[in-house]
């Protein structure tokens, strides 16, 4: 039998709050981790890495200058003309959009975890865009580790049309509408024929778009929305973007299950559920906007359109 004395001031030393607190703190830390075999430590670090598709979805801003002219190689197919000035297509090149930062806490634990995290990030990362000069890139594309004075260049991936979301405000919506035509008017396209290939991802627009008063611009925006599938209005706080290169991870979440769906057989937009969101003023404006949208959809004979309401979240 042990002769270890028991503190008589603690009526039940095995279940006291002090012992529970010590146990809880011990569960959050493992001081002997560094004494584990290196292979086991590496396996643990690898298991703590995010999925290869990280981030799973991201919100990224539209940038001007993404409309490009690509030559179409001559293949000899029926109907294709072997003309160096006639085989071009104008496309919205999403690789020119800003990238989303790939980040994991393993970059900031210790040198061993950082080495493993950097190899992982390099494997799934994409080359950065060069829209800025060298000094601006250095300033815009460095990540300050809050736990040290070291600056770690962020790893990033390109915009992914299958899962990422394009964020639009009034100014860059105009560029999206007119950008293809502007690219065709550039001097290098003089005398050349081209077709426009228009394929866009899921779109979120800032709340200020629904408050526009320019009817001609609003109609053009609505015609654009009618061909790109579901559109989401972001209410409340809007994301804050860095200048060029790499953006922090912003995402969106639905404010409510309420959606505004075009019923073409009835020539009107209906609300799917009675669930409140935002202010009455914003709701009334969206309803008014949907009425305008209905007239556009009727004019161009569209049968499908849906609009939802979201808010921004910082991941």
Name the residue with higher pLDDT: 91 or 304. Answer: 91
Give yes or no for residue 59 having a pLDDT over 60.
yes
**Backbone CA torsion sign across 118, 122, 123, 125:** positive
% of the chain beyond a pLDDT of 90: 12
CB atoms within 10 A of CB 219: 15
Per the CB < 8 A criterion, the answer to whether 121 and 55 are in contact is no
pLDDT tens per residue, range 216-247: 888 888 888 887 778 899 998 999 998 767 88
Question: What one-character-per-residue DSSP string does 3-26 give?
Answer: -----TTSS-TTT-HHHHHHHHHH
pLDDT at 101 over 60: yes
The pLDDT tens digits for 169-209 are 988 888 888 888 899 899 988 888 788 887 777 899 999 99
Q: How far is CA 194 from CA 82, 184, 189, in A?
A: 14, 8, 9
Tokens for 67, please give them.
């409309």
Which letter does DSSP use for residue 188 in this model? G
Burial 272-301 (b: 16+ CB within 10 A, else e): eeeeebbeeebbebbeebbeebbebbeeee
24/27 Cα distance (integer angstroms)? 5
For the cut 60, the answer to whether the pLDDT of residue 153 exceeds it is: no
Which of 251, 250, 253 is CA-nearest to residue 242?
250
Report d(CA 277, CA 263) in Å as an integer.
22
Reported pTM: 0.72
Round to whole Å and give the CA distance between 109 and 129. Answer: 29
* Phi–psi pair at 155, nearest 5 degrees: -85, 155
The pair phi, psi for residue 295, each rounded to 5°, is -65, -40
pLDDT class of 17 with cuts at 50, 70, 90:
low
Q: What is the structure's pLDDT at 169?
A: 92
Mean pLDDT, to the nearest integer, of 33-46? Answer: 89
Q: How many helices (H) and strands (E) does the chain have?
A: 7, 15
Cα distance from N-terminal residue to C-terminal residue, the chain? 55
Mean pLDDT confidence for 243-268: 85
Structure tokens belonging to residue 14: 């095995």
CA distance 69 to 200: 17
Instruction: Return d(Cα 266, Cα 287) in angstroms, integer.
Output: 16
**Which SS3 state, helix, strand or coil, does residue 148 take?**
coil
pLDDT band at 79; cut points 50, 70, 90: low
Rg (CA), the chain: 27
CA atoms within 13 A on the CB side of 73: 1
At residue 125 the predicted structure's pLDDT band, cuts being 50, 70 and 90, is low
Nearest to 114 by CA among 89, 85, 143: 143
**Higher-confidence position of 160 and 17:** 160
């Amino acid at each position: 039998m042990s002769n270890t004395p028991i503190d008589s001031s603690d009526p039940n030393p095995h279940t006291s709050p002090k012992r529970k607190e010590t146990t809880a703190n011990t569960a959050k830390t493992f001081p002997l981790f560094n004494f584990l075999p290196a292979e086991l430590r590496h396996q643990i670090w690898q298991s703590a890495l995010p999925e290869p598709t990280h981030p799973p979805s991201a919100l990224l801003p539209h940038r001007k200058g993404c409309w490009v002219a690509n030559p179409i190689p001559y293949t000899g197919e029926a109907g294709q003309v072997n003309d160096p000035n006639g085989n071009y297509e104008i496309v919205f090149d999403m690789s020119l959009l800003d990238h989303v930062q790939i980040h994991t806490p393993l970059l900031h634990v210790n040198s061993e975890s950082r080495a493993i995290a950097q190899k992982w990030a390099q494997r799934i990362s994409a080359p950065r865009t060069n829209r800025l000069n060298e000094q601006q890139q250095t300033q815009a594309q460095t990540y300050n580790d809050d736990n040290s004075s070291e600056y770690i260049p962020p790893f990033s991936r390109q915009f992914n049309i299958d899962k990422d979301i394009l964020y639009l405000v009034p100014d860059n919506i105009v560029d999206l509408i007119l950008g293809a035509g502007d690219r065709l008017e550039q001097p290098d396209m003089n005398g050349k024929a081209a077709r426009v290939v228009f394929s866009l991802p899921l779109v979120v627009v800032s709340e200020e778009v629904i408050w526009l008063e320019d009817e001609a611009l609003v109609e053009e925006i609505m015609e654009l929305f009618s061909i790109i599938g579901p559109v989401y209005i972001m209410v409340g706080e809007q994301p804050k973007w860095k200048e060029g290169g790499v953006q922090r991870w912003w995402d969106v979440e639905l404010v409510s299950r309420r959606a505004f769906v075009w019923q073409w057989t009835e020539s009107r937009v209906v609300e799917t559920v009675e669930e409140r969101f935002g202010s009455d003023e914003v709701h009334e404006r969206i309803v008014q906007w949907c009425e305008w949208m209905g007239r556009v959809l009727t004019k161009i004979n569209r049968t499908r359109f849906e609009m939802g309401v979201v808010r921004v979240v910082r991941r």
